Structures are given as C-alpha cells and as structure tokens.
Structure 1
Amino acid sequence: MKYNTQMEAAKAGVITKEMEIVSEKENMDIHKLRDLVAKGLVVIPANKNHESISPEGIGSGLRTKINVNLGISKDCPSIEKEIEKVKMAIDMKAEAIMDLSSFGKTEEFRKKIVEISPAMIGTVPIYDAVGFYDKELKDIKAEEFLDVVRKHAKDGVDFVTIHAGLNKETVNTFKRNKRLNHIVSRGGSLTYAWMELNNMENPFYEYYDELLDICREYDVTLSLGDALRPGSINDSTDASQIKELITLGELTKRAWEKDVQVMIEGPGHMAINEIEANMLLEKRLCHGAPFYVLGPIVTDVAPGYDHITSAIGGAIAASSGADFLCYVTPAEHLRLPNLEDMKEGIIASKIAAHAGDIAKNIPGARNWDFAMSEARQNLDWEKMFKLSMDPEKARRYREESMPHDEDSCTMCGKMCSMRNMNKVMAGKDINILRDDD
C-alpha cells in the first residue's frame, strides 16, 4: 500500500526509508522514531519531489536543528549571489534553508535550490503571490493564494509557513490589545492587510481543509506561522500572541486528522525570564508539536549583534524544549545579510542548538565536548582545530599569534595550566623561567 505522508505511514506501523535515515543519524530506535512521527511529536519534512534531500527529523528527543533564511528581493535580485549563500549553508551543514524570495524569478531560484540542496527547503508562499500574479495584494483571490501553495509543493518544497492562525477572532483580540510594534511578521502583516482591505476571513483559515489536501498530496510539512509573534520585548507573551497560539493548537489537531505533519512557529523578541514558560506553553497548547523559533531575541538594542542576542535566547529556548532554531545574522533589522553575516549567524545558531542539546541530555550530545576537553588537556592543537565548530577560524587565531613554546599559547605561555598540570601529574618539575630540557 502506498502512503501519502510520513505520518500516515507511521500510523499504519510502516517504517519508511526517510525514517531509517533519520533513525541512523539520531541513533534512535527506529520503532520509537516511527511512534513519535505517528503522534506528531516528530516531523520529517521530505517532499516527494525533493529528490536530492537527506532527510532530517525535528522534534522530541532529537538534536535541535537550525534553519538559514535567504532569497532574492527587489533591492537585491541576484540569483547568483543567493546561490552562493545556499552553497555556504549546505557546506556548513545547516539542516534547513528557507527561500524567502519576494521579487523576480522566484520559481527559477526555488527550483534550483530544491535541485541542489540535501537540506530541507521551506518557503512562505504569500511572499510569492504578488509577483506570481502581478497583482496588488488586495486584488488576489482566496483560491489564488492556495494555488501558489500548490505550485510550491509541486516544485518540491518540504515545508511551508502559513499564517492560518490569524483569523477574524484573533484579529479582534489584536485590535483590542494595542501593541508598541503592531504586527512584525512579514507574512502576518500581508495576511492582515488582505483581510482588512477585503473585509474577508483569512483564506488560509477559511479554506484550511483544502490547504491540508495540498500538503497531504506532496507530504509538505505545515509550519504554522506566528503572525502575531512579538517584535519587541514590550509585546511578548501578550493576549494576541497567546490567542493565536491557542488557534494554532486547534489547527494542529485538524492537520493530524488528515495525516499532515505540523510544526509551530514561535517568538520573536522576548525577555530571558519569559522564554522557558513560552516553550512549555506551546508544547501544552499545541499538543507537543515540534516548536520552531526565531531567536528569541532577548534585547532590542543591539542591531549589528543580533546573532548574539538570538543565540542567547535560542540556547535557553532549545534547553527548554524548542526543536528548531531559525538563525539570525548580525544584519537582522538592518539589511540583507552577506556571506560573512551568514557564517556568523549559522555558527551562533549552531552554538545555541548544541548548548540546548547538552541541557536536554540528547544522547551523544556531550561526546563532542568530551573529545575537545581531552584534546585540550593533551595540548593536541590539530585535534582541537578538527573538533572546532569553525576550524578555519580557530586555526587562524592561533597562527596569528604563535607562542615561543608550541605546547602553550600567547595568553599564558609557560604558565599554561594544562601544560603545568600534565607535568606535575606525571611527577615532573615545572620550568616556567628556565628553557625546556
């Protein structure tokens, strides 16, 4: 029997080739993984038309994954430059790439990255709608929005962000509870604008069953977008955010009834002391569905350094249950990131994800750190470089300031604690002022 989605197969007790690959990557029992997929606690985004994909799992008991955003825009329309970013993301082993293109030859770019990328590919179809139809936003018909989703699914996209939780009821909550920063989600603001301009219900909510049918046909994972995520710490955990989250929980159950895999998207900007509670709240209200967060960014005053503000929040979020981190670059809030911005954002996000995995006791997470600590104690510089998250930078930093004694560095020299403890523990004398024998 042929199964349309990973969830449908898992519910039937069937183990797919994608499950086998994820089981091996995660060192998780295949039957346990299958059961988690059946319950919706793990998703394996893998469109039937994405032939180059190396499947990854997102969710309970698995390593925290990271996503890289990129894409062409009206001000920066070069497909070639964005392809360079795709290749960097792949080289740096990001598990997911989101194509957020909003101008020009979006189809050409989307198909190209699906063709070359082993990483899962995500999109936000509403970004593409204006250019796809060459119409102003208010003139696009409800069914036309769904047709764009269908096009992305057919092109091989593995997950789509859809802001289906922003219905009329949620909008009324938003209108009654004023914010400092209104709606900061690009897709959310477009959806809200369309609803207001046409005095109609959100088409993705009104025709949610048709949307699920599209996702089911191609096994596209539905990433339920947080249109009302906070865009400043002033607006976090407010009535609008929570009202939408409750709606997303209801939509999650409806998706599972049709065997459609679901992720939930989350904040946003948020003070550190609110992060853990938000992770627990999402897991409760959305029935344990995998949680995909942007940041959270823990302070609003560090433009140019938001990869750091995001990594702080991301580490806390991951340690508290978040399953998927969207990277943030130093260019966030300022401009489209370049290659160097991307690299810094990816590394910062990977640090946050790994720190979270250690705290969650993901099997094997500490092994990497153990190996690094062992190499440091042995003063094995080559092994340290190989184990580094960014080997090139680690090697370059050492070579820029070489010590007189190769078994130390220019910070401590012969007062190096590792060097001296090795000697003492071996019953040897310590020669700080004298030359080595």
Structure 2
Amino acid sequence: MTYKTQMEAAKKGILTEQMKKVAAKEGMDTPKLMALMAEGRIVIPSNIHHLSLDHEGVGEGLKTKINVNLGISRDCREFKFEIEKAVKAIEMGAEAIMDLSSYGKTREFRRKLVGMSKAMIGTVPMYDAIGHLEKDLGEIKAEELIDVLRVHAEDGVDFMTIHAGINRKTAERLKKNGRLTNIVSRGGSLLYAWMELTGNENPFYEHYDKVLDILRAYDVTISLGDACRPGSINDSTDACQVEELITLGELTKEAWKKDVQVMVEGPGHMAINEIQANMVLQKRLCHHAPFYVLGPIVTDIAPGYDHITSAIGGAIAASSGADFLCYVTPAEHLRLPDLEDMKEGIIAAKIAAHAADIAKGVSGAREHDYQMSTARKNLDWEGMFNLALDQEKARRYRESSQPEHEDSCTMCGKMCAVRTMNKVMSGEKLSLD
C-alpha cells in the first residue's frame, strides 16, 4: 500500500519510520499512536523534503512540545544572527522553529534553515507574500497568495500557519462587536486588510481545497491560525474569537477528509480563570486536533517579563489540554529578541511544558523530578547540574558564591536542612559551630 501523508498511512494501518521514531521517544505503543493519528489527535509534521528532521509527535498523550520564533526582517536582514539563534534553540531542545521572515532573501534563509535543522520548521506564508511577490498588498491576486504556499512546501517546511478562519463573516463580526486591540495577529491583520482593499473573500478560505492539495502533496501539516486571538485580556473569549474557532473546527474536518494533518492555534492574552474553559472549548469544537498556543499571556502589564506571564498561562493551558507551546521572550511587545532573550524564552516555555506534563501524567515526566530530588537529598551538585533545564546558569550561580563547606550553599551554610537531616538520620555527629 502507498500513502501521501502520515495521516493517510495511519488510516491504512501502515507503520511508518516516523511513527516508529516518535513511539520510541514517547514510550507509547505503536498501535495506540497510529490510532490517535488516524483520528487526528496526534500529528507528526514531516515534509517529504526535510531530510535532516528528527521527527516529533504533537498531540494527545505526548510530551508538550515548544516552538521558537525567529527570522529575517526589514530591520534585521542578516542571516548570521538568526542562524546563530536557530543553532542555540536546537541545542537547548526546542522541538520546532518557526521562520517568520518577512523581508529580504527569505527563500535563501528558509532553505538554509531547513537544510541544517533537526527541529520541525514552520512558516507563515502570508508574512512572506509581500516581499516574495514584490507587490503592494492590495495588488496581490488570490492565486499568487496560494502560490506562495506552494513555494514554502517545496522548500521543505513541516507545518504552515494559514489564517483560513478569518473570512468575511468573521470580519463582519469584528466590525459589529468591536475590540480594544482589534486584530493583533500579523497574518490575520494582513488578510483582513487584503479583504478590505480588494472586496474579496479570504483566498485561503475560498480556495481551501487548493491549499489542502498543496499541503497533501508534501505532507505539510496545516496549523490553522487564529487571526482573532485576543491581544489583551479585555478581548479574550469574545464573539470574534469564538466565531473563528467554530470555522476552524469545520476546516479541520475538511482537511482530514484529504488526510492532511492539522494543528489548531489558540490565544493569545487571557486571564487565568478563562484558560481551562478555553482549552476544553477548543478541543471540543476542533474535534480534539492538537492545540498550539501562544502563551496565553495572563496579564498585560509586564513588558520585559512576558516570558514569565506566558509561562504561567502556558503551564495552565498545557495541563488543561494544549499540546504545543509557542515561546514568548522578555522582548515581546518591545523589540526583536536577541540570543539571550531567546534563551530565557526557551527555558520559561520548557518549564511550563514540563510542569504540565507532570500534571497530565505524561510518561517519564515525574521521573526527571525524582532524579533531581534524589541528587538534592544527596547534595550531589554535579548531578543537579546535569539534570537542570539550564545547566550553564545553575553552574554559574553555584560558582559565583562558594560556601565554607561543600555540602551546603551560601544561603544556609552549615544550617542547611538537607545537610542537617542527612547527618541526623545517619547517626552522625551534628556541629553547627
């Protein structure tokens, strides 16, 4: 039997090499993995042209994955800095990189990134359209926007964010209901503007069958973009967000008919007390397709610290059903992130993902913490460093403030509770002098 996509293979009962790799990584039985893929609850983004890819699964019962955003733009055209960030992101264990390039030699950069990356690569073709086509937004034809998707698929990207859910009906809903922050999705705002300028329907919605045919041909996973994600906690769970979500659920089923793998994107900015309900609503309306969230950022007042506001929301979202977290850096809302910003964003997202995996009972999640706690009990500093999410920072902090006694730190010294209890429980003499 032959197949075009991982989903088609799963439906036909064909065990692919990608499935074997993911099952082994996740500690999941292959029949269970295949069944969940056939239902659309797990995806393995895997473009047939991305030969360096170390395959990952996203979805139900799997470890929560994280994504890092980078790319060249009008204000940052140099490949070198963004490639350095990509190399570091992969080294730090990010499972996915989204190339959000919007200006300059975007195709050259994208091909270089795909060629060197073992992480999944995602793109937002709408970002690239104006620069690639070298036209003003209102002059771009629907068929030209579809062609940009084809170029990205040919170049080997594993998933694409496509804002197919913001159609003219959703746009009217936005106009009638209003919002404090309108549309904050870059791709969504460009498509809204294109519809207003041309009077036409969103081409990714109107010609969705053509979109799916392209994605199917290369086994590109569609990440259904949430153009109406809230850009402030004031706008969360409003009519526009829910209207689009219903449409995304319908588009999910249409993609599955053509065996195209689907992820669905979610908020955005959202108060803590709304997150769990949104995850349940999302999964229900989108038929349990994997859910990919940006944050959610739980308060709007912390510029410079939005990796923290995002990690709080991400941990709650993932523990409530989200499967994939897009990192947020301290530079969010302020500037293009540099290398240090990216590192902080990755660690914050990984903390959120791991905390959620513990709550969800994902295989192996608690074992990591057990090992760390054992090393702490034994005052095994090298063991602690090796188990830390950020080994470099843990070592640097320890080395920057040396204690009088090796079996303590400068916080408590000889009054360290762990040291005290180890000695007392083993019958050793305890001296605090």
Q: TM-score, with normalisation over the residues of structure 1?
A: 0.99
For the residue of structure 1 that corresponds to 2:97, the secondary structure is strand
Deviation, structure 1 residue 428: 2.1
AA at the equivalent of 2:281: L
Q: How does 1:14-25 map to 2 (within 5 A)?
A: 14-25=14-25
Partners of 2:93 and 2:378 in 1: CA distance: 28
Displacement after TM superposition at 1:257 (Å):
0.4
Distance 1:432 1:7 in 2: 64
Q: What residue is the counterpart of 1:107 in the other structure?
A: 107
Q: Which residue of 2 aligns with 1:5?
A: 5
Matches within 5 A, 1:6-405: 6-405=6-405
Structure 1: how far apart are the matches of 2:89 and 2:412?
36
Following superposition, the deviation at residue 139 of structure 1 comes to: 0.5
Q: How far apart in 1 are the matches of 2:171 and 2:132?
A: 27
Quote the offset at 1:429 in angstroms: 2.4
Shift, 1:2, TM fit: 2.2
Q: CA deviation at 1:29?
A: 0.2
Amino acid at match of 1:341: D
| In 2: Cα distance, 1:344 partner to 1:334 partner | 15
Give, in whole Å, the separation in 1 of the partners of 2:262 and 2:7: 10
Q: Deviations over 1:71-115 (max 9, x none)?
A: 001011111111101101111110000000000000000000000
Q: Structure 2 counterpart of 1:295, which letter?
A: G
Deviation at 1:286, TM superposition (A): 0.2
Structure 1 residue 248: Cα displacement: 0.1
2:246 maps to amino acid? I
For 1:200 and 1:133, the matched residues in 2 are separated by 19
| Partner Cα separation in structure 2 for residue 349 and residue 402 of structure 1 | 30
Q: Provide the secondary structure at the position in 2 that maps to 1:370.
A: helix
Tell me the SS of whatever aligns to 1:325.
strand
Q: CA deviation at 1:173?
A: 1.1
Letter in 2 for 1:163: H
Q: TM-score, normalized by length of structure 2?
A: 1.00
Deviations 1:125-173 (A, max 9, x none): 0111101110001111001011000000000000000000001111111
| In 2, Cα distance between equivalents of 1:374 and 1:138 | 61
* Distance (Å, rounded) in 1 between the aligned partners of 2:109 and 2:411: 47
The runs of at least 4 consecutive aligned structure 1 residues that moved more than 2 Å come to: none
* Structure 1 unmatched ranges of 5 or more: none
TM-aligned CA deviation for residue 25 of structure 1: 0.4
d(CA) in 2 for partners of 1:324 and 1:404? 44
User: Cα deviation per residue 1:368-419 (whole Å; 9 max; x = unaligned)?
Assistant: 0000000000000000000000011001101100000110000000111111
Unpaired runs of at least 5, structure 2: none
CA RMSD in angstroms comes to 0.5
